[in-house]
């Protein structure tokens, strides 16, 4: 067992934390979480001074939602019982954590193997001393499985020690239906979901099995005489299953999974898990040479991205904090489609498809939301759980402790276009016609129908969308938000395009779909008119998009004067003044430039970026990545690199950003976006992919893999020798465009070409 607790030797693959700051303990628990898209287990302080559990992470199960019985109920993901609980004590009290010289409680995240490791030392005065090594993971190969190993060595002292392993928590969130020695079954209070867990636990002393001295449901206890040199090993395998209806029996699933795992043994379980991680890394690793901090940051990002998705469950999606924390109650936002889907589409298409099928399965909830407000089509929930119904809270406590109304659920409507954008991007990159015909087309058509219903004609001959919130949530109830309107127009046009495509290529399926959706040529004609006359806020003389009607008339606040602030700008200025100012919470027009660069002709992209970048206060973790992506595309790579490291610091640095509530998974997706779509200049085209690399000066090289319509590609950008090398590792020949010039690529014909040097930063970009 001891060998299994040794981390990967290459420091570029491990994250270490030797500190022990109680005020930042929840941040460490988040950062070192292990997850597989179904199960999540936060890391925890291995030891406490009191006789309490040695391992106390919160445990999460994807899709396990319930709605509390309150005046204003908001659906939330409930905690699962903590299957990692361990306590160790002596007859006269606990063994306590020794806070001596050097690292007091080192934690290690082995990203290559997908597991978390911990060490600590327990003492009883000067008489007894033991060293502990701990390991945990949730299996990437068999997502219902989790494993915990504990390796204990007695340094000194001879005494009776008691070790207890149990399941803790979940009492308030779940109702116990059945508890046995190795099995538990619970149900939620209101949603009708059930959770089953089973466990096999064994303790060995110097290689010999020690039977438990006490047993209770999901609780095992051993007492033995400890002596110096003694080696004690605890092994615990857990299996977990969730059911969403009465016709499913999660208990049968976990019993069978446990029987299989017990038969194969923990070493086999770990070996399969490590193989699955090796396969994921072979498809998704990003290699940066010359910038060790950037390499660690992008590996950390890819680790958490690979940990967050489950391609086997199309009924769940990825919440704003994944399975790493409780913030936002596990709710799903636009983060998934805009910041995460590109990674999955191009490295793990199966996961991307499953995440989009979640949006298909929640389409009825989106239709209901639109109908409730008098519109047609699909208006997706701003915060979504398992049903697709709107889950945004109506009120919250503001920074000044005042109750404020939350309007995003009603007014932040660009979510429907964001979902459509991800559907189209997936189909474009994969060529998955089966998905398009069975699910994707319906999403595109129903979201297109929503926008055609939502936009209203006015006396100026244009269609307007009034009373919305754009990505910049500092400004509410605004009219004709540029991001919302241009994305809506794009959405309608893609809906019309897919309608024409289905009619031509799949006429029988198109006829059935039209009948089911009550869709006819008159509807499509109306949509065309809306798209052609939708107000966008573009000034043809300056090339600037006005973020929303009246934005240019607001107070222009110099954010440079507040550069040393430690709180968001809406706290500095106050909510009312912020709303009267041009201060932006997060990328809005800049986000539009990132997603639809074709909407910005000639130099207008740079013009808009130069205008809006200095006005953004980055009050959201989503913002810096969008700005970095656009800066890199525009060739200002040093500014982009600054945004890259600021984005990485959100979850990796102990800064003013608190991460106790979970990893900012969209920021992690943003790091990958900046790297691949920004510095490598990747673009998705109808005839293939394009690359236009501009690397930071400190990056000697950048390498990554891509999946494109059944093909596997390897890209390496060598800045030292100013060369770009693209090879096709599997699949049919294709066209790849480099700086606008097409090149042929085949299995026997790799592409090697020159790259351009990035331009230097200038003050105008700031």
The single residue listed with the structure tokens 């690979």 is: 306
Report d(CA 568, CA 507) in Å as an integer. 53
Would you call 169 helix, strand, or coil by DSSP? Answer: coil
What would the DSSP string read from start to end of 8-54?
PS-GGGEEEE----GGGHHHHHHHT-EE-SSEEE----S--SSSS-S
- Nearest Cα to 132, choosing from 90, 97, 108, 85? 97
The alpha helices in 348-463, defined as continuous H runs, are: 349-361, 363-372, 408-411, 415-430, 433-435, 441-454
Pairing relationship of beta strands 174-179 and 723-730 according to DSSP bridges: unpaired
Residue 473 annotated as catalytic: yes
- Nearest Cα to 104, choosing from 177, 25, 162? 25
**Distant-in-sequence, close-in-space partners of 287: CB < 8 Å, separation ≥ 6:** 295, 701, 702, 703, 704
Upper half-sphere CA count for residue 99 (Cβ side, 13 Å): 8
Upper half-sphere CA count for residue 208 (Cβ side, 13 Å): 4
**Distant-in-sequence, close-in-space partners of 162: CB < 8 Å, separation ≥ 6:** 88, 89, 90, 91, 221, 222, 223
What would the DSSP string read from start to end of 675-702?
IIIIIS--EEETTEEEE-----TT--EE
Report d(CA 631, CA 612) in Å as an integer. 12
Instruction: Find the angle CA(194)-CA(196)-CA(198) to the nearest 5 degrees.
Output: 175
Residue 563 vs residues 616, 617, 639, 655: alpha-carbon distances, Å:
12, 9, 16, 15
Report d(CA 202, CA 192) in Å as an integer. 33
Which helix (DSSP H) or strand (DSSP E) does residue 108 occupy? strand 107-110
The single residue listed with the structure tokens 């919305």 is: 468
Report the interhelical angle of 507-517 vs 482-505 (nearest 10°). 130
**Distant-in-sequence, close-in-space partners of 316: CB < 8 Å, separation ≥ 6:** 37, 62, 63, 310, 358, 386
Q: What is the DSSP letter of 360?
A: H
Tell me which of 473, 546, 599, 613 is the catalytic residue.
473
Any idea which residues carry the catalytic annotation? Answer: 473
């Amino acid at each position: 067992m001891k060998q299994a607790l040794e981390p990967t030797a290459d420091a570029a693959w491990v994250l270490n934390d030797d500190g022990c700051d109680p005020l930042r303990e929840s941040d460490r628990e988040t950062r070192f979480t292990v997850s597989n898209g179904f199960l999540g287990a936060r890391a925890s302080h291995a030891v406490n001074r009191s006789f309490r559990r040695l391992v106390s992470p919160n445990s999460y199960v994807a899709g396990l939602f319930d709605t509390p019985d309150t005046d204003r109920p908001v659906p939330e993901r409930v905690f699962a019982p903590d299957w990692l609980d361990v306590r160790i004590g002596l007859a006269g009290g606990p063994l306590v954590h020794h806070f001596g010289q050097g690292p007091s409680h080192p934690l290690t995240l082995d990203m290559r193997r997908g597991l978390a490791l911990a060490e600590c030392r327990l003492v009883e005065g000067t008489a007894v001393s033991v060293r502990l090594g701990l390991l945990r993971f949730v299996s990437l190969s068999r997502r219902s499985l989790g494993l915990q190993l504990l390796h204990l060595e007695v340094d000194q002292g001879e005494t009776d020690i008691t070790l207890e392993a149990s399941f803790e928590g979940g009492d308030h969130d779940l109702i116990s239906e059945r508890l046995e020695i190795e099995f538990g079954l619970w149900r939620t209070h209101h949603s009708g979901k059930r959770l089953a867990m089973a466990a096999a636990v064994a303790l060995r002393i110097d290689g010999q099995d020690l039977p438990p001295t006490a047993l209770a449901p999901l609780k095992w206890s051993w007492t033995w005489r400890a002596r110096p040199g003694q080696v004690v090993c605890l092994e615990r395998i857990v299996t977990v299953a969730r059911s969403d209806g009465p016709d499913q029996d999660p208990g049968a699933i976990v019993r069978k999974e446990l029987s299989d795992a017990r038969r194969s043994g923990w070493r086999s379980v770990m070996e399969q898990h490590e193989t699955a991680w090796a396969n994921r890394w072979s498809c998704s690793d990003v290699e940066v040479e010359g910038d060790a901090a950037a390499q660690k940051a992008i590996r950390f990002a890819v680790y958490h991205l690979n940990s967050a998705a489950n391609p086997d469950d199309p009924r769940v999606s990825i919440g704003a904090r994944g399975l790493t924390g409780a913030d936002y109650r596990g709710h799903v936002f636009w983060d998934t489609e805009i910041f995460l889907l590109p990674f999955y589409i191009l490295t793990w298409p199966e996961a991307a498809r499953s995440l989009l099928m979640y949006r298909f399965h929640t389409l009825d909830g989106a239709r209901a939301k639109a109908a409730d407000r008098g519109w047609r089509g699909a208006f997706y929930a701003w915060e979504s759980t398992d049903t697709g119904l709107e889950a945004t809270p109506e009120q919250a406590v503001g920074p000044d402790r005042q109750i404020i109304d939350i309007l995003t659920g009603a007014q932040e409507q660009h979510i429907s276009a964001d979902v459509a954008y991800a559907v189209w991007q997936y189909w474009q990159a994969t060529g998955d016609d089966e998905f398009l015909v069975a699910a994707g087309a319906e999403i595109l058509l129903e979201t297109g129908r929503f926008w055609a219903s939502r936009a209203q004609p006015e006396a100026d001959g244009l269609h307007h969308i009034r009373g919305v919130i754009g990505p910049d949530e500092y400004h509410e109830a605004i009219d004709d938000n540029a991001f919302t309107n241009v994305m809506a127009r794009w959405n309608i046009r893609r809906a019309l395009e897919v309608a024409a495509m289905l009619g031509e290529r799949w006429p029988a399926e198109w006829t059935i779909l039209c009948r089911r959706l009550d869709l006819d040529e008159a509807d499509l004609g109306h949509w065309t008119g809306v798209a052609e006359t939708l107000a966008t806020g573009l000034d043809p003389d300056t090339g600037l998009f006005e973020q929303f009607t009246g934005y240019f008339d607001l107070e222009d606040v110099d954010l440079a004067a507040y550069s040393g602030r430690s709180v968001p700008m809406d706290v500095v200025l106050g909510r009312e003044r912020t709303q009267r100012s041009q201060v932006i919470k997060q990328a809005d027009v800049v986000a539009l430039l990132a997603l639809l660069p074709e909407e910005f002709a000639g130099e207008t992209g740079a013009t808009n970026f130069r205008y809006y970048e200095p006005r953004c206060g980055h009050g959201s973790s989503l913002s810096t990545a969008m700005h970095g992506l656009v800066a890199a595309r525009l060739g200002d790579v040093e500014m982009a690199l600054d945004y890259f490291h600021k984005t990485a610091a959100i979850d990796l640095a102990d800064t003013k950003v608190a991460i106790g509530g979970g990893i900012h998974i969209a920021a992690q997706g943003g790091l990958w976006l900046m790297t691949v779509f920004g510095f490598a200049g990747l673009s998705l085209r109808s005839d293939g992919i394009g690359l236009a690399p501009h690397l930071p000066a400190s990056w000697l090289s950048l390498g990554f893999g891509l999946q494109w319509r059944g093909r596997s590609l390897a890209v390496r950008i060598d800045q030292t020798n100013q060369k770009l090398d693209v090879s096709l590792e599997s699949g049919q020949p294709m066209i790849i465009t480099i700086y606008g010039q097409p090149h042929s690529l085949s299995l026997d014909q790799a592409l090697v070409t020159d790259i351009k040097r990035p331009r230097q930063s200038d003050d105008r970009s700031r």
